[in-house]
Structure 1
Amino acid sequence: MPQGLPRRIRYAFVTQGLLLILAVVFGVSVVTLITRDALISQRLEVEAKAFWERRAGLRPPGQLPATNAIQGYFRENGDPDSGVPAVFRPLPDGMNYMYRMQRAVLVERRPDGMLYLVLQTRTVDRLMWSSAAALILLGLLAALAITALTYRKSRSIVLPVNRLAEEVARWDPMQGEMSAPLAISAGAGDPSREVRALSSALHGLTGRVAEFVQRERDFTRDASHELRTPLTVIRVASDMLLSDPALPPHGRRSLERIQRAGRDMEAVIDAFLILAREGGVAPVSEEFDVREVALEEIDKAQGLLTGKPVELQLAGDASPRLFAPRAVLGVVLGNLLRNACHFTERGSIEVAIGPDAVVIRDTGIGMSAETLRHAFEPFYRADAFSPMGKGFGLTIANRLARRFGWDLVLESEPEVGTVATLRFTPANGS
């Protein structure tokens, strides 16, 4: 299965199985070794007790044990040559296990001498480790069986959840809601009540999200359409007034500002319509000169600097061409320029055109790191009481840039200024 969650569960169970196998092998080995030593110790202690009882006359006298398994030696006090092999003489009192020689030696000291009982452990070792191997084999089979059964059960529980995640990942809210609640395939097993409840809840959520997206698109489209009517009236009326030769200069300037604001509003409406069609019909595009659009927006922005000691200039000799809606680039550059004009009280604003970017630098109040992080959020303003703007211009500019694959980056420092870089892919190498 290529799915991530089942794969991680499989790895977890494989790791658990390996650890369980190691635990079984180690545990059985330790228990076998302890049991072996206990049996040997008990056997030798019984033989030693019987010998001392015979020597004390409590039992019929007899010789030291001398069988295929046990060999006994006794050294009386003061007897340097008692027949005890040299390898056993240095051993301390008590049980001594000589694993390499497969011997176990019990040394007991009494007032009349020392007793050495030597047991060959080859037969005991063979018996104990054969039993241990059988126990380990049974333990491994049991561990594998339990792990396999548990894995199958966990897999049957997880597969519906994984399938549900795949369905949600494939769902596109722009294409409507999911056709039906999650249908579990026959091979996935019977989903639990919780999985069925989660499937039903997610299906309902997708429907509500799809309705919300459609409602937002309808509102944006309808509102933008309705706004065109009063804008058309404003434009026609201002044109008629401007044609009056008796209009005073200050009235002509005001009407020209009204016309510029009307054209800006129409461009914003076009941008809203483009954003409302995200994922739908592509907007009408054309090839145009970026420099011409930048000059138009600079001319519009000049009126915002009236009475301010701010120089707005164009820099750079590049003249790249783009294939996109011309009005979209105008809206993006216009919003960036309006921001620069609003927040620059003295100094300069420079619009530099490069082969693949437009860079707008200002010497305004700048933004802190915290403000910069929220700059593209709707309605966010560093100064909530400022009358300038509603905190929506940068959001529109950023959404439009992403819509057409452009990259809008802001760099800023308080009391130094802001640099806005709009990077795009030119239509040709010019």
Structure 2
Amino acid sequence: MEFKHSLSRRIVIAFVLMTSLVAGAFALGIVETVHLVEERLLSSELGGDLDRLLQMDSMDEWRHIPEPGQLFYFSGGREEFALPDDLKELAPGFHEVFRGELSYHAFVRVVDGRHYMLLQDQSDFEARERVLFAVVLVGFLLSVGLSAVLGWLLARKVIEPVVRLSRQVRHRDQLLDLAPLLAPDYAADEVGQLARAFDDTLGLLRHALTRERLFTSDVSHELRTPLMVLASSCELLLENPTLDLRARTQVQRIARACDEMRELVQTFLLLARAQQGDSNLLVAVSLSTVADELVAQWREPIESKGLQLDYRSGEPCHELFNPTLLRAVMGNLLRNAWHYTEQGRISLGLLNNGFVIEDTGVGIPENEREAMFQPFVRGGEQHGDGLGLGLSLVQRICEDQGWKVQLTAAQPSGCRFRVELN
């Protein structure tokens, strides 16, 4: 069975249910005890009174005078002592009799085939009984209410270490290499065992992240030299006047791929340094500054492809951001739009908390949009010549910086990327 409630609420519910069960059992026990005592005591009292009346009859001293508040009937009795028709079927013993709005305790005895019945008004007893039951009910409700309050206080006390541990585990500093251990802050109980398990798991995660950062940094450094060689070779080949059109097109494609790879390597290197807390990345710029630079950079490639570039500066955003990472996010989205748009336009609009890039390209089906942010996944294999790492890099940077990126469909076709920077 899966519980949807929080742990503290489950503790309160368990406390209330346990108290309700125990208090309810006590309340029912009191009610049943009252009824049992009522039957035993009143049966003995009325039986004794009825026996005294019958002894008077046997001693020829019959005075037909019961105790105050009592009614006496018997078979063959006259006038007010005549046995009423509605009581003739009562068996010998103790009974509760209701006649109209009045209620009585009755005791019946059969002697020599004759029925004798003594009734006693139980109005006072009923009133005291109602008071007693009201007290029992109030006590039950107070017990349940008190259990809810105590359960809430106990739940806060019990889960406080768990809540504190969850905050510590979620803190971003836990992924740092020098993050302190969690277990020493807790007792050697179940929470302490959980803290030690988190220490072990976070240690493995820190080790994996460190290896990943080192690998990314090393690979980025090592790829720079061969990429520069390829780029230089492409420039020399393009300066050769004897190169035919087909070969020139292929060399230009190689040069463009080298430029993209060099920018991608540079971005990964900067991201790795940012995760290590490199102080050189603390310089910040405005959103409009980065947008102006990228629009100037991409206007010629976009327009040379026969596309229209719309740039809307919108309301100025005064917050400052990491220039390299912001440029990587916006640049990769512009490059993605350029790759997958063959006709129409590409637009960049600045918002007061981010920006929107929209194109009229091939678009991405809704069931494939989430996968587009995975590494080496491309939309529309017949379009563009990207590596399938751009959107993955965008997602990674946004997660690292606390930004949000959203992909939706544009009208009538294409993609719309909205990035919120705060």
TM-score (normalised: structure 1): 0.68
The alpha carbon displacement at 1:214 in A equals 1.1
Structure 1 residues 140 and 221, CA, compared in 2 at 3 Å: closer, same or farther?
A: same
Given the alignment of the two structures, is residue 375 of structure 1 paired with residue 372 of structure 2, yes or no? yes
CA distance in 2 between partners of 1:181 and 1:54 (Å): 88
Q: Which amino acid aligns with 1:214?
A: T
Indicate conservation of the 8 Å contact 1:235/1:262, yes or no: yes
Bigger CA drift: 127-136 or 371-380?
Answer: 127-136
Compare the two structures and name the one with the higher helix fraction.
Answer: 2
Equivalent residues in 2 for 1:34-49, closer than 5 Å: 34-39=35-40, 42-43=43-44, 46-47=47-48
SS at match of 1:409: strand
What residue number does 1:428 align with? none
Query: Aligned match of 2:80 in 71, 79, 82?
Result: 82
Indicate conservation of the 8 Å contact 2:73/2:116, yes or no: yes
Query: Aligned match of 1:263 in 232, 241, 259?
Result: 259
CA distance in 2 between partners of 1:291 and 1:421 (Å): 18
**5+ residue gaps, structure 2:** none
How many residue pairs get matched?
A: 403
SS at match of 1:271: helix
The alpha carbon displacement at 1:5 in A equals 7.4
What residue number does 2:406 align with? 409
**5+ residue gaps, structure 1:** 306-310, 426-430
Structure 1 residues 225 and 173, CA, compared in 2 at 3 Å: closer, same or farther?
A: farther
What residue number does 1:204 align with? 200
CA distance in 1 between partners of 2:147 and 2:346 (Å): 73
The alpha carbon displacement at 1:272 in A equals 0.8
CA distance in 2 between partners of 1:367 and 1:113 (Å): 100
CA distance in 1 between partners of 2:284 and 2:417 (Å): 24
Equivalent residues in 2 for 1:119-268, closer than 5 Å: 119=120, 161-162=162-163, 164-170=165-171, 172-176=173-177, 179-180=180-181, 182-183=183-184, 191-192=188-189, 194-240=190-236, 244=239, 246=241, 248=243, 250=245, 256-268=252-264
The alpha carbon displacement at 1:280 in A equals 1.8
The alpha carbon displacement at 1:229 in A equals 1.6
SS at match of 1:378: coil
Query: Aligned match of 2:344 in 345, 348, 352?
Result: 348
Structure 1, residues 151-183: CA drift from partner, whole Å, max 9, x if none?
Answer: 999999766555543543447343226533513
The alpha carbon displacement at 1:281 in A equals 2.6
The alpha carbon displacement at 1:212 in A equals 0.9
CA distance in 2 between partners of 1:153 and 1:324 (Å): 45
Q: Which amino acid aligns with 1:96?
A: E
Q: Which amino acid aligns with 1:265?
A: M
- Please give the root-mean-square deviation of Cα atoms over the aligned residues, in Å: 5.3
Amino-acid identity (%): 22
Q: Which amino acid aligns with 1:82?
A: E
The alpha carbon displacement at 1:236 in A equals 3.8
The alpha carbon displacement at 1:343 in A equals 3.9
Indicate conservation of the 8 Å contact 2:409/2:416, yes or no: yes
Q: Which amino acid aligns with 2:329?
A: V
The alpha carbon displacement at 1:35 in A equals 1.2
Given the alignment of the two structures, is residue 314 of structure 1 paired with residue 313 of structure 2, yes or no? no
The alpha carbon displacement at 1:52 in A equals 10
Q: Which amino acid aligns with 1:274?
A: L
Indicate conservation of the 8 Å contact 2:109/2:115, yes or no: yes
The alpha carbon displacement at 1:117 in A equals 0.7
CA distance in 2 between partners of 1:198 and 1:329 (Å): 38
Q: Which amino acid aligns with 2:96?
A: N
SS at match of 1:374: helix
